[in-house]
Structure 1
Amino acid sequence: MADSPPLPPKRRCSPAEIQAIVHVGVPIAAAWGVEVLEAAGGRAAVRLPFRPDLLRPGGTVSGPALMGLADVAMWAALLGVTGGKDESVTSTMTVNFLRPFAPGPVVAEARLLKRGKRMVFGEVLLRAESSEEVSAHVTTSWVVIAPA
């Protein structure tokens, strides 16, 4: 039996290309101005600029905005390893808020922990852009949806 030829490598997308895909696929990310800073090798970093409308009473960044940012960060990490083509969907997300986010930009750093044929597992660390301290830790799993 002859060896099958190796699969061609996936095309590597730039952060700007992945950001464009994210903005079309998740329109609220575009509305919020989410930026993809990097996405390659199963990792991604995304930035949520400061927006007064995303603050909750008490002046901290709202949980729904932070969870949305974490979800987008994980998708960016997936897009970075799939050549910009990924239709996987979030199955679970567990968020541990460790400290409040003061008003200001937020950075989410995602990494794939395991990428199987049917499931993907990852983690996202969120922090204020002005700090190295992690303010939220997210674990997430995604169901792989094969394109039709």
Structure 2
Amino acid sequence: MRFTDSTFYPDVSPGYLVRVIHQMSVAAIDKTLAADGLTATQWMTLVSLYFDHADTCAGLARKMAHDKGAMTRLIDQMEANGWVTRQRDDADRRVVRLSLTEAGRAAAVAAKHKVIACWNGFLADWSDTEVEDLVKMLQRLRRTMEESDACAA
């Protein structure tokens, strides 16, 4: 299916659907992790650090599509909670590297199990093949978007 003026509306728009699904998942994860004193955004940051996706505020902001200023404030909170440490880079003192503390690693792992249960609940009536296909399609879309300049003016 290719979109046309007559076939493009919110319920079939990939952007709209992904955005709504993201908002719903963040709300569910916020609720799931509330008792642990974690938000979904904090958890995503912990996991990004845990899996070495980035090690600076700017890198995390890029990787997570998050505002740099908001990311700095988030890291401030996470540092105050004892989950993250900051350290100046030896080679370039302008760069501040982030790393998880032991408490941060423990929080990331504990939260991961709750998030897994949450997603397994959402996908309970999906077959393993359907879940695998969904993930493959989303990964393909991400790669296509990363490599494309289709929307360039």
Q: TM-score, normalised by structure 2?
A: 0.30
Which structure has the greater CA radius of gyration?
2
Q: TM-score, normalised by structure 1?
A: 0.31
Q: Which has the higher contact order (CA 8 A, sep 6+)?
A: 1
Higher strand share: 1
Higher helix share: 2
